[in-house]
Homo-oligomer: A and B are copies of this chain.
Amino acid sequence: MSYTEKLDAALQRLHDEGRYRTFIDIERSRGNFPHATWRRPDGSERPVTVWCGNDYLGMGQHPVVINAMHEAIDATGAGSGGTRNISGTTVYHKALEAELADLHGKEAALLFTSAYIANDATLSTLPKLFPGLIIYSDALNHASMIEGVRRNGGAKRIFRHNDVAHLRELLAADDPAAPKLIAFESVYSMDGDFGPIEAICDLADEFGALTYIDEVHAVGMYGPRGAGVAERDRLMHRIDIINGTLAKAYGVMGGYIAASWKMCDAIRSYAPGFIFTTSLPPAVAAGAAASVRHLKTDGALRARHQTQAKILKTRLKGMGLPIIDHGSHIVPVIVGDPVHTKKLSDMLLEDHGIYVQPINFPTVPRGTERLRFTPSPVHGPLEMDALVKALDTLWAHCALNRAELSA
């Protein structure tokens, strides 16, 4: 039994498929984002513009966030020193949970160390609370939801992406008395398309199901106070459990659910992924709370974000590039081959100082490998010109098809 040979084989599979990941070492400079420094493996450096980050609004360098973090470190120190139950609950955690409950119009919110673990822990704990629970899960749900749904071997049904007719079929086929939950996302981050929230809520009402929405690519960015697409569409009150992140538009780290007081209390009490882990550092909670609070009123920043996305999409479409446009802030350009995608990414980085990570399987289905651009309010006209020109040049150089794959 050679363990090393097995590791070699596992790694070789990735190389063979052209999807071995090389992490790019990026050092952001506070106040200069999206500009950053790329440090090559040999130690040499090159200035780059980051076009693939999830700090969608630039809040990771906003003074209200930075100051809140500094203040909390000075007041209370570095880590929390314990799990939430054993000395790790502080006024910072409670204030952030209150801020998030208010954001979503729910009775309560529950913090996790990430939205990944929030999805995984919550979805895997719900079958303990509702014995016999059947979870109906969108086929393109995020890996963390898939892991949570799978974990305890409870009953699950996968409905075709955004296909409410299929969802209805599946719901109608099951025992009407069985507890049910429909799990889906508001913005699917790889295509940037929206989930049919209202239609799903209607089905949930009809079949007596709970609703669970992942708004990680929407919180901070949609709705009058940044609570997400469900807020924008006035559907938030119809969702039982809302999952969000503090690590993308809010610019810090951590994840949460917002729900009824009893639901949060039960998840808090039964989810190992919540119970047995050190709570977020107070400074992280303080920074996130400041960011959530700020974005409740800064609708102008949200508007600029959407405008930037519209401009970039219009320009790329004008050049005939195969972009997917569902009207969200995410701009995917389909390449359709892992090796080509990697090559384009490498050329953009090395030759043009543009950093956009290739996205390949298993993050997206094979054959839909892509570059995924995330314009933000801090990407100015100069940065956008440079990107558009670089893509035009590379598409010509590589003789790539234009538009044939665009939606």
Contacts and interface: CB of A to CB of B under 8 A. Distances in A.
Interface string A65-99: 11001100111111111101111011100100000
A66 to B, nearest CB: 6
A7 B147 contact: no
B7 A266 contact: yes
Interface string A3-30: 1101110110010000011011111111
Interface string A136-166: 0000001110110011010000000000000
A271 to B, nearest CB: 10
Contacts of A120: 273
A73 B113 CA distance: 19
Given A30-B76, A94-B25, A50 B81 contact: yes
Contacts of A91: 25, 27, 39
Q: Which one of A8, A253, A272, A363 has the greatest number of beta carbons of chain B within 10 Å?
A: A253
Contact of A113 (B23, B113, B291): B113
Interface stretch (A55-63, A313-321, A397-405): A55-63
Contact of A89 (B23, B54, B62, B266): B23
Interface range, A side = 35 or more
B87 A59 contact: no
Contacts of A263: 7
Interface in A219-239: none
A356 to B, nearest CB: 9
A14 B270 CA distance: 10
Given A28-B81, A74-B30, A3 B179 contact: yes
A129 B208 contact: no
A252 interface: yes
A287 interface: yes
Q: Which one of A26, A240, A269 has the greatest number of beta carbons of chain B within 10 Å?
A: A26
Nearest to A75: B30
Contacts of A268: 21
Given A69-B73, A86-B357, 15 more contacts: A4-B262, A6-B130, A7-B263, A11-B266, A11-B269, A23-B85, A29-B75, A54-B82, A55-B79, A80-B253, A113-B113, A113-B253, A245-B278, A247-B278, A281-B284
